[in-house]
Amino acid sequence: MTITYRIHELTDYINWIYFFHAWGFQPRFAEIGNVHGCDACRAMWLTDFPVEDRPKAAEAMQLFKEAQRMLWQLDEDYKVHGVFRLCKANSKGDNLILDDETVFPLLRQQTVKKPGAPCLCLSDFVRPMEQGVADTVGLFATTVDQEMEELYENDPYKRMLVHVLAERLAEAAAERLHEQVRKEFWGYAKDERLTIPQLLKEEYQGIRPAVGYPSLPDQSVTFLLDELLDMKQIGIHLTENGMMDPRASVCGLMFAHPQSHYFAVGKIGEDQLADYASRRGKSLEEMRKFLAANLSE
């Protein structure tokens, strides 16, 4: 199922911490995104900073104003798109089996964080196949209009502003889409009543790991997601390395298990690399390239 959002429908879902991080600001300066827009409230916010930090806070305030102005301009001509699919699912070892036929391999932690702690894999949050009861896993992708990333070729500042906002809008669309899936389409959290700040703190049931997250580090699984979602229908095309174009795109999985939570796979050994390459149907050399950051030295 595909969904199209107007930009003004997503602005409340933008996590401004990551926007300001892209510009080199500490998280405390991103609080300007939660301040009422009147001059009095902004002036009060500014005076809460120590004198030596006020120039940086004033810079953040101006950047936020320009970002808001740019969002309203973009809202006139551009949209943000999403696609999702709910699949019948079970786990089989470290694999997901989707709709009884598609094998979606995953990686498991091999470094024990604390004594007695389990080594986690995302498949742990799905009913095992041997239980004989089907579970559900969601797949999703979101992106902006391609033309948005091509704006302001001759204005480096505005071009960067648009690019950073486009990335935030793709993430905001994923946040909004996940909320709709939980409450409406999948419906496992129909009674959820969370504020936007609570959503951004991930206080809802379930997780939404995207490709590239520490628990889903293999960029090549975008090819698997594309086979299942047909991301071209919302304008996403994959490069030969599995990168998404437009760059302001997100794709990944949705899990509903009440105890599901984010984790980092971390470093893996040659044994798991070989096993994973076999399950992915890829050569050891190819998977070594995609998982270089996760390989133990």
Average per-residue pLDDT for the chain: 94
8 Å CB contact between 228 and 98: yes
- Write down the pLDDT at residue 191: 96
The average pLDDT across 34-62 equals 86
The average pLDDT across 27-38 equals 85
Q: What is the CATH number of domain 2-81+137-254?
A: 3.40.109
The average pLDDT across 48-54 equals 89
Q: Is there a cis peptide before residue 246, judged by omega within 30 degrees of 0?
A: yes
Q: Which of 2, 48, 24, 13 is nearest to 199 (CA)?
A: 13
Per-residue model confidence as pLDDT tens digits over 81-137: 999 999 999 999 999 999 999 999 999 999 877 787 899 999 999 999 999 999 999
* Residue type (1 letter), 13: Y
Distances (CA, A) of 12 to 16, 98, 172, 272, 284: 10, 33, 8, 41, 44
Structure tokens at 108: 């498991």
Domain boundaries, the chain: 2-81+137-254
- Write down the pLDDT at residue 200: 92
Per-residue model confidence as pLDDT tens digits over 203-257: 999 999 999 999 999 999 999 999 999 999 999 999 999 999 999 999 999 999 9
The average pLDDT across 167-189 equals 97
Greater confidence, 65 or 34?
Answer: 65
- Write down the pLDDT at residue 155: 96
List 89's β-bridge partners, or say none: 98, 135
- Write down the pLDDT at residue 208: 97
- Write down the pLDDT at residue 42: 83
pLDDT at 39 over 90: no
Distances (CA, A) of 290 to 221, 258, 294: 10, 31, 9
- Write down the pLDDT at residue 47: 87
Alpha carbon distance 91, 89 (integer Å): 7
pTM: 0.94
pLDDT at 36 over 80: no
User: At 26, is the pLDDT very low, low, confident or very high (cuts 50, 70, 90)?
Assistant: very high
* Residue type (1 letter), 208: R
Element (H, E) at 18: helix 16-22
Distances (CA, A) of 244 to 7, 78, 288: 21, 19, 20
- Write down the pLDDT at residue 113: 75
Provide the 3-class DSSP secondary structure of residue 212.
coil
The DSSP bridge pattern shows strands 135-144 and 79-92 to be antiparallel
8 Å CB contact between 180 and 10: no
The average pLDDT across 253-263 equals 96
